[in-house]
Amino acid sequence: MDNLLEFNRQQLIDYIHKFGHKPYRAKQLLRWIYRFGEDRFDEMTDVAKSFRLTLKESASIIPPEISFDHLSTDGTRKWLLNVGEKNGIESVFIPEEDRGTLCISSQVGCALECTFCSTGRQGFNRNLTAGEIIGQLWLANKMLRHQDDYSGLEREGRIITNVVMMGMGEPLANYKNVVQALEMMLDDQIYGLSRRRVTLSTSGLIPAMDKLKEDCPVSLAVSLHAPDDKLRDQIVPINKKYPIKDLMAACKRYINKAPRDFITFEYVMLKGVNDSIQQAKLLIQIVKEVPCKFNLIPFNPFPNSGYLCSDKKTINEFKSVLMEAGIIATIRKTRGDDIDAACGQLAGQVQDKTKRTMRIKSV
């Protein structure tokens, strides 16, 4: 059975053409699947009965299966989704007064080994398919429609107004499937989200950043986390391949096609590691030619991380140094930490093919 969530608009047109049906049938299907969240062909009442029968025999609409559904005291909601072979991914919905943001995953685990990230400690199993990526958005929409607490967030009929590719995995390491999912989010006949409301977070895979700006430019967040190569080599190992100077040049190139006129730099605040005033001043120098803003992220502890979060006073002083230099800096409000849904805490269930967990235990 073919899972229709794996098809973008053109692929769906090509698929139904095999059965002798015209493109307008694809438009009908897309409306039922994505606008109404329908996964039962019998309920698609304006679709010809003969076509519905063909679909029932050959196709399906199957999102990832929910293993756990957790609701935080602050309204944040986290789903653990079963993607087979004892692997689980996590998606998080963050409600705010003026928006509803869904944080979705792109891989089962992550291969980049950032030392402060819970996902990075779990190892890596595989890339998610385009259907598994867009399926997280499909499923969250369906679940949230039945949760009255979020009804006040609807804008133009939407509960989810923003999507961030900041869940498990490095999105640009799963380029083809991620870009297809992004294009589906932007497609007016599917979700029709604005490029400004879809954000991809990367640790800095420069060739893929350059390709993304040509193929599907969305808002970009770069996980920086250090003001110099020596420290970033340690905590964000991909820096050894793509050092900060090259990364800044890639960010400048990206802005030429980006939907926003700035890059967001994410910076997790690690006590005694990257949070000194001198390090803040170094940051100002390395980003001086890149229009940007900083998102300072209080570190969210997880077992055996080896790190502590910077205290509030240190974080505020760090922010002030950036602001005094004319750089917009915000401190990310921690959400969902009581259900391990906060930034850096997503770990899912990963059958590690990299043997990383085994290596860590042997050290």
* Active-site residue list: 90, 343
**Mean pLDDT, to the nearest integer, of 252-275?**
96
Domains of the chain: 2-60 (1.10.150.530), 65-362 (3.20.20.70)
**CB distance 92 to 78 below 8 Å:** yes
Asked whether residue 58 carries a pLDDT value surpassing 80, the answer given is yes
For residues 345 and 62, which has the higher predicted lDDT (pLDDT)? 62
Looking at residue 65, what is its pLDDT? Answer: 94
Question: Phi, psi (5° rounding) for residue 309?
Answer: -80, 140
Residue 171 to residue 180: CA distance in whole angstroms = 12
Other CB atoms within a 10 A radius of the CB of residue 341 amount to 26
Instruction: Answer whether 197's CB lies under 8 Å from 161's CB.
Output: yes
pLDDT at 123 over 60: yes
pLDDT at 133 over 60: yes
> Is residue 362 over pLDDT 50?
no
> Can you tell me the distance from the alpha carbon of 325 to that of 210, in angstroms, rounded to the nearest whole number?
28
Task: Enter the DSSP assignment of 109.
Answer: E
**Residue 339: closest CA among 93, 57, 73, 126:** 73
Per-residue CA distances from 327 to 74, 265, 307 (Å): 30, 11, 27
Residue 151 is predicted with a pLDDT of 47
Quickly state the pLDDT bin for 349 (edges 50, 70, 90). low
156 — phi, psi (to 5°)? Answer: 55, 40
- Amino acid 72: pLDDT: 85
pLDDT (0 to 100) of residue 262: 96
Residue appearing with tokens 């944080």: 103
Instruction: Give helix 277-286 / helix 244-255 axis angle, nearest 10°.
Output: 50
- For CA atoms 312, 197, 346, 154, the dihedral sign is positive
Asked whether residue 348 carries a pLDDT value surpassing 70, the answer given is: no
Q: With pLDDT > 70 as the criterion, what percentage of the chain qualifies?
A: 89
| pLDDT-above-90 percentage for the chain | 76
Flag the least confident range among 272-286, 320-334, 335-349.
335-349
Core vs surface per residue 56-84: b (16+ CB within 10 A) or e:
eeebebbbbeeeeebbbeebbbbbbbbbe
Q: What is the pLDDT of residue 222?
A: 98
CA 178 to chain CA centroid, nearest Å: 10
pLDDT for 148 equals 54
Query: Using 50, 70 and 90 to split pLDDT, how confident is the model at 118?
Result: confident
Which tens digits make up the pLDDT trace of 90-105? 999 999 888 999 999 9
Give the model's pLDDT for residue 147: 67
pLDDT bin (cut points 50, 70, 90) of residue 146 is confident
Indicate the pLDDT class of residue 346, thresholds 50, 70 and 90. low
| Mean pLDDT computed over 106-118 | 92
CB-based burial of residue 176 (10 Å sphere; 0-12 exposed, 13-18 middle, 19+ buried)?
exposed
Please say if the pLDDT value at position 356 is more than 80: no
